[in-house]
Amino acid sequence: MDKLGGTTKPNHDVEKGTQPKKSKRRHLLNHVFDILAIAATCLVFALIYLLIKPVQKGFFCDDTSIRYPNKPDTIPMWLLGVYGGVGPVIIFCIVEIWVVRPFHCGRGPSKNSLKQRQVDYLKTIFQSIFLFILGIAICFLITEVGKRTIGRLRPYYLSICNPVWSNIQCTQTISTASGSLNIPLYITDHNCNSTATATQLQEARLSFPSGHSSYSTYAFVFLFVYFEARLVCPNIQFLKPFLQCICIAIAFFTCLSRITDFKHHPTDVIGGAILGFSIAVFTAVRIGTYLWSFSVYCETEDETEKDRLPKEERVPVPGIETKQSGALRSNDNIELESFHHKHRLPATRSLYDNQLHNENGYTMRPHHRTILHPIPAGARRIAPERTSDNSTA
């Protein structure tokens, strides 16, 4: 096996299974800082949740938007935690197994990359989980700050509160030049006549933004970006778009369920979805830059012969290209990769051999590593004109 990184220089200590002490110390400090960041965010969230009470907002007696019945949740919070929290972690483990599997890259015999693959697998898994949990903590924190600050009444507030209407003056009569006029009053001081607990009554004041919407949108948009960055499926063209569509569908269904259950107003759901989307994109793209850069593991000649497909029939991996020196490049160089995709040319056969080149003009075969320029579609190669032997200078 052979592990080939894009632009990283070979490190003999890493190849021997040991790392320099400075590198180990740096990685350890990075993990400590990650844990401290998550712990600090969770601590701030817990303090806000336990100590800060929501703003006591009132209502108008004729407000029909808060008169809906109190229905049970279609998606309770524990279920959302299972498929929106545990589910992505399991998917990370499965996808990273696929990422570290060896591809045929046309390299010769190699040594001890199995241990390096295991190390990279565990490192990437822990990094992905830490990054995902950090985004969850940020999402919960910002959502809870919005809930406590706004204090918007949920659509079922009057049903669970059941105010004592006999003690409430809903309108005020004033005299005008054209006669008396009833003006609705904003009710802020009222007593609830129900068996609901104080926690349930407080929860009825936390409508904006929707916690289910923000968290589900964050989790599955993060998973959407994760699939885009990590999942390489050259033989299954529509697998990645299919999985990404499922992510969007699950998040969308979760958001809609909060409206049909009368737990949130439509604007609460929209606000939560925007919040979750923003945090997911920022976390996965801006903070999780490592997701977009990974090494490529190549099969040896012996392993290629054991494969069911011949070498010449294997599909090249997108984002992996050979250089003139014979080394391989992974998708570390994002700008160069996007350039090749924009200037993609069709696959052609060389005039000098029967070797099939991939779309960007590079070859993956082990003994032909030079860059050959393919012939564009619709063009033909013109042989140079020969001068006559009788021609003079």
Q: Which residues are catalytic?
A: 212, 264
Sequence-distant (≥ 6) Cβ neighbours of residue 149 within 8 angstroms: 55
Q: Which letter does DSSP use for residue 356 in this model?
A: B
* Residue 327 contacts residue 107 (beta carbons within 8 Å): no
Look up residue 146 and give its two tokens: 């919005």
Burial of 153 (0-12, 13-18, 19+ CB in 10 A): buried
Neighbours of 377 (CB within 10 A): 9
How far apart (Å, rounded) are the C-alpha atoms in residues 242 and 31? Answer: 34
Burial 73-107 (b: 16+ CB within 10 A, else e): eebeeeebeeebeeebeebbeebbeebbebbbbbb
Could you count the other beta carbons within 10 Å of the beta carbon of residue 331? 20
Give the residue from 4, 220, 227 showing the smallest Cα distance to 94.
227
List, in order, residues 6 or more apart from 285 with CB less than 8 Å away: 225
The residue to which tokens 């998973």 are assigned:
223
Contact 126, 159 (CB under 8 A): no
C-alpha atoms less than 13 angstroms from C-alpha of 267 in its C-beta half-sphere: 7
CA–CA distance, 86 with 109 (Å, rounded to integer): 39
